[in-house]
Structure 1
């Protein structure tokens, strides 16, 4: 009888295409692919009627397509800080995007995924946009190599002058100079070459691939632009930009297959924030991103700014063909990697993310704490959001932020942020009202008060922890 039961379980496992994940299986590899300003509705597998993304469509078919995948923030630098640390970016003092020369940076006292995995014997590589310091490639602030990456190929922010033939990449502290090609393919080239050239291929790896696409300044191969003949030129260039990024993802997946790494590599694909709004600044002429059915776009704490495409694939481990509406966050990546690698997450700092290994195993996953967002420059003076199960609260403070919206850190911003309190809110049943159109705050007074009080508590906690870079000693001290 026991033999028959064991055989049945084995057959079911083969049929489902996956098996339970355990650290005892040995530390897995992690490949994280992060896009820049890619909207929730920008992929074919997320409903875009025109943009072709065959490689990401296939990736979704081979794993889990997440329909409630959230970024840590509504814009770039904070989102990247949250993903790497598992902590609300306000705690780290990454309040907004980091302009060149700005004092904001990811301090040495912040622990990244790469750092903890390196202690477990991992190799770690970062390829692409960094955007976690204002003094890029300077000893005055921490660089990717100071946060656990053995090899790094990066830019401070955008590819300059455009995605085509960028000239501002740095490799391990040395400027590379002018390059030929498109940014996403160059970033994929570096990642693939690093995988193939590792001296000890038996060691597990963490590979952080951060495309510049489809952020402005958009540039796309003419042959791909021509495949959208019925679309106006600037819009077609955006569509082709996403398709070019998709092709780079396909090359990464082919490399994993050729190196026989797919069965021991968890692939995570997502975006840093929602799509850019058209013409928000003079050069934003190609910003034809789509938030799909969501309200808002980049810089909003409505879901259009923070809910992103999310795909998880682990060949032979994760059951393919799944679609999950369970809310997950990029903050969850840190504790998930720790659990799968058999590492105890550092206890000295509060983590805001939680391990989603139960979800990967096909089990029920319940989040013990609400998801929370804070962005001081949120458009419309909507600076805080909290999601608790089916409900989402959007709140604002007593200090309008119109001057801060979309800007980098300036003197005086942090004291104002720390002194404000939440004064009003909206409440949405987000699972039934994905577009956040029906404010139920008046109809649900008890629930509204409970969630508002929780949001106020978290807001005070994370803003109290964040430093004022203009009035405190720099936290480099390497």
Structure 2
């Protein structure tokens, strides 16, 4: 390796474990993602540290469990909270060792000026500051915004460049193509220097706004079309790397921030064969697709079934780039670069992985065993599938090696294992915290906070917002 590797991190939004073909989808055609898996490493036991957007992304970029850095919920427009400016992100580490850095897509770690991407090591930013449904667009895809003339808590959705608003209420059908165009420009401009591109998709977050030409390529509706648009975008990126002869200089990582939403299940979303999904501590909430490719520097066509996490990105990328991991704070992620070659002999560096729902510690995995403590205040009967229903048993022990769908509770037969895992959870509570037990962790850092937070945009009835066809009533 003669130069520091470029890093491309493509993070999807609410893409489930079973949404792409190489992880079992029977609906979506994902030839690019599948080929990437055949040319790199497919991780089957990869975890995000949270099962909702903001905490998941905060953990991924900082290498720390969400509650350790104050994240226990999703950020809203005009939120007073955001990523603390004292936190050090992957982008900041790389920027400090000479990388050009760019975020294209969704941020969702705070929209106040103190919390925007340029404060955290990104040289440039093009995208949405939060989720694509947090504007005056439809919350329910069959409802029209014209039926809701007053939405005081839903200011217009801003598309941003740097710290400035480029457009309000952009046509979301075109956003992925605009993101790809910006990404290709960034790659070309930095082809001779090390770069970090964080491409944060809006797909497959609900609602799915996809261009007509994408809808025409599938018979399975907008959700599957959105998955296939992700595949198209990855193909454009990988093709550009090849055209510029920098494939061997670039590590590409593909993943998702959390499991598929139950609201998308009827439209083709899938976390199968996992139980649960977004917002839960079942496997379907935290376990995600993850594929890595680095031509010439990584095993090809291998499958890794060892436990790894998105928090591992920061120390791994630091090792590859020569960046220094901060020593004045706890980083929960581990360097997994030794999994890239001789994959069969790689063993997880994690003693355990902890599953949080918001600020509540609900489960732990050690090796093949997962102990889950059902929260008494949860009742998921509103979800349409049993997969999302909380069990009536308080203690549940699963053998994830033989029971990936978490269907057989083995707690009564394995009391010693239960006790061992309960002790791990107790140590975690002391270290990081557990709001369900009213325990504040001993080693936590504060979330960022401002006193006079305001949304980036305000609704103006006289402003000529673009009203796209997808915002109109079907009978309009």
Q: Do residues 302 (structure 1) and 282 (structure 2) align?
A: yes
Q: Do residues 436 (structure 1) and 406 (structure 2) align?
A: yes
SS in structure 2 opposite 1:111? coil
From 244, 249, 254, the equivalent of 2:239 is: 254
Give the drift of 1:468.
7.5
Alignment correspondent of 2:119: 146
List structure 1 segments (4+ residues) > 6 angstroms apart after TM superposition. 467-470
Alignment correspondent of 1:183: 175
Give the drift of 1:130.
0.3
Question: Deviations along 1:154-206, whole A, 9 cap, x unmatched?
Answer: 21212353799x962100112111656522222221111112224xx432111
In 2: Cα distance, 1:44 partner to 1:458 partner: 36
TM-score (norm 1): 0.80
Question: Cα RMSD over matched residues?
Answer: 2.7
From 302, 316, 329, the equivalent of 2:309 is: 329
In 2: Cα distance, 1:44 partner to 1:211 partner: 19
From 40, 61, 64, the equivalent of 1:87 is: 64
Question: Deviations along 1:262-283, whole A, 9 cap, x unmatched?
Answer: 10111100000000112xxxxx
Alignment correspondent of 1:384: 362
For structure 1, which segment, 331-340 or 354-363, has the greater mean C-alpha deviation from structure 2 after superposition? 354-363
Q: Do residues 393 (structure 1) and 371 (structure 2) align?
A: yes
In 2: Cα distance, 1:468 partner to 1:148 partner: 19
From 257, 261, 267, the equivalent of 1:272 is: 257
In 1: Cα distance, 2:47 partner to 2:306 partner: 11
- Note closer, same or farther for the CA distance 1:207–1:147 as it changes in structure 2 (3 Å cut): same
Is contact 1:88-1:352 (8 Å) kept?
A: yes
Is contact 1:43-1:53 (8 Å) kept?
A: yes
Alignment correspondent of 2:386: none
- Note closer, same or farther for the CA distance 1:348–1:469 as it changes in structure 2 (3 Å cut): closer
- Note closer, same or farther for the CA distance 1:252–1:469 as it changes in structure 2 (3 Å cut): closer
Equivalent positions of 1:33-432 (< 5 A) are 33-133=10-110, 136=111, 138-139=112-113, 141-159=114-132, 161=137, 168-177=158-167, 179=170, 181-198=173-190, 201-229=191-219, 231=220, 236-278=221-263, 287-362=267-342, 363-376=345-358, 383-396=361-374, 400=377, 424-432=394-402
For structure 1, which segment, 383-392 or 109-118, has the greater mean C-alpha deviation from structure 2 after superposition? 383-392
Alignment correspondent of 2:419: 449
SS in structure 2 opposite 1:431? coil
SS in structure 2 opposite 1:206? strand
Question: Deviations along 1:212-263, whole A, 9 cap, x unmatched?
Answer: 001012112223323333x4xxxx1111111111101111111111222210
Number of aligned residues:
412
Is contact 2:93-2:324 (8 Å) kept?
A: no
In 1: Cα distance, 2:447 partner to 2:6 partner: 35
Question: Deviations along 1:422-475, whole A, 9 cap, x unmatched?
Answer: x953211111110011111111111111111111221232122557779x887x
Where do 5+ consecutive residues of structure 2 fail to align? 142-155, 384-392, 434-440, 454-476
In 2: Cα distance, 1:162 partner to 1:243 partner: 22
Question: Deviations along 1:37-64, whole A, 9 cap, x unmatched?
Answer: 0000000111111211111111111101
- Note closer, same or farther for the CA distance 1:108–1:64 as it changes in structure 2 (3 Å cut): same
Question: Deviations along 1:12-47, whole A, 9 cap, x unmatched?
Answer: xxxxxxxxxxxx754211100000000000001111
Is contact 1:63-1:321 (8 Å) kept?
A: yes
For structure 1, which segment, 81-90 or 212-221, has the greater mean C-alpha deviation from structure 2 after superposition? 212-221
In 2: Cα distance, 1:357 partner to 1:56 partner: 21
- Note closer, same or farther for the CA distance 1:285–1:177 as it changes in structure 2 (3 Å cut): farther
In 1: Cα distance, 2:363 partner to 2:426 partner: 10
In 2: Cα distance, 1:299 partner to 1:80 partner: 14
- Note closer, same or farther for the CA distance 1:473–1:142 as it changes in structure 2 (3 Å cut): closer
In 1: Cα distance, 2:447 partner to 2:196 partner: 30
- Note closer, same or farther for the CA distance 1:256–1:369 as it changes in structure 2 (3 Å cut): same
Question: Deviations along 1:371-396, whole A, 9 cap, x unmatched?
Answer: 11212377xxxx42211111112124
Question: Deviations along 1:333-357, whole A, 9 cap, x unmatched?
Answer: 0010011112331111111111111
- Note closer, same or farther for the CA distance 1:227–1:395 as it changes in structure 2 (3 Å cut): same
In 1: Cα distance, 2:426 partner to 2:215 partner: 47
In 1: Cα distance, 2:209 partner to 2:125 partner: 24
TM-score (norm 2): 0.81
